[in-house]
Amino acid sequence: MERGEAVIEQWCRTCHQRASDKTDPDMAPPYEQIVLRPERTRAYFVQFLKEDHFPMTTYRLFDSEREDVVAYLMGLQKAERKKRGGN
């Protein structure tokens, strides 16, 4: 498992669904969907993880963990776009 994925497994799965889960409107969307939203660039995620977002306010990661998460999300984005035959 990548380091960023390990961080997500540890801190983010209480809210964020897995791609394989049945959609639950009370849960936050899976990262596979988030990365396919328009304008989700590396800079966007870096900024997003720096700021507090309700209800995610308690999640204060180390800088290195944030970088790992962003790296994981960028890899996921590439894979998901490829699956959909995009760029």
What are the residues binding ligand HEC (CB under 6 A)? 8, 11-12, 14-16, 28-29, 34, 37, 40, 45, 48, 55-56, 59, 61, 69
* Residue among 10 and 82 whose Cβ is closer to ligand HEC: 10
Distance in Å, CB of 60 to ligand HEC, minimum: 9
Distance in Å, CB of 13 to ligand HEC, minimum: 8
Distance in Å, CB of 43 to ligand HEC, minimum: 13
Residue (of 76, 77, 45) closest to 61 by Cα position: 45
Cα three-residue angle 83-84-86, rounded to 5 degrees: 110
Taking phi over 0 as left and psi of -120 to 50 as alpha, with beta for the rest, 60 belongs to beta
